[in-house]
Amino acid sequence: MTYKCPRCGSQVQKGSSRGAQFAGGLMGMLFYSAFSSFKCDTCGRIPRSEFPPRVQGRMLLGTVLVLIPALALFLVLLAILFGR
Ligand SMILES: [Zn+2]
């Protein structure tokens, strides 16, 4: 998913950190990608609150779509571990 920078109109990317991915594993990576801020090449970090409400809604939807499978996977693992 790509979004436009609210300040200059160019594309922003999600900040990524390989360190966090290694440290947190799959869950850490999912949560990090869900809650990380966005970065514009010219303006630097852009807080979510600067994006238009419509875009924020889309981001929220994207976050939910990422978190629900992660949560489901977690519950399945719990069921396998403790369900016998
Ligand atoms: Zn910008």
26-55 pLDDT per residue, tens: 666 666 666 667 889 899 988 888 999 998
How far does residue 41's CA lie from ligand 1's centre (Å)?
6
Q: Where are the alpha helices (DSSP H) in 1-84?
A: 18-35, 53-82
CA of 82 to the centre of ligand 1 (A): 48
Q: Classify 44 in phi/psi space as left (phi over 0), alpha (psi -120 to 50) or beta.
A: left
d(CA 65, ligand 1 centre) in Å: 26
Residue 34 alpha carbon to ligand 1 centre in Å: 21
> Can you give the pTM of this predicted structure?
0.59
Distance from C-alpha of 9 to C-alpha of 7, rounded to nearest angstrom:
6
Q: What's the pLDDT tens digit per position in 56-78?
A: 898 888 888 888 988 999 999 99
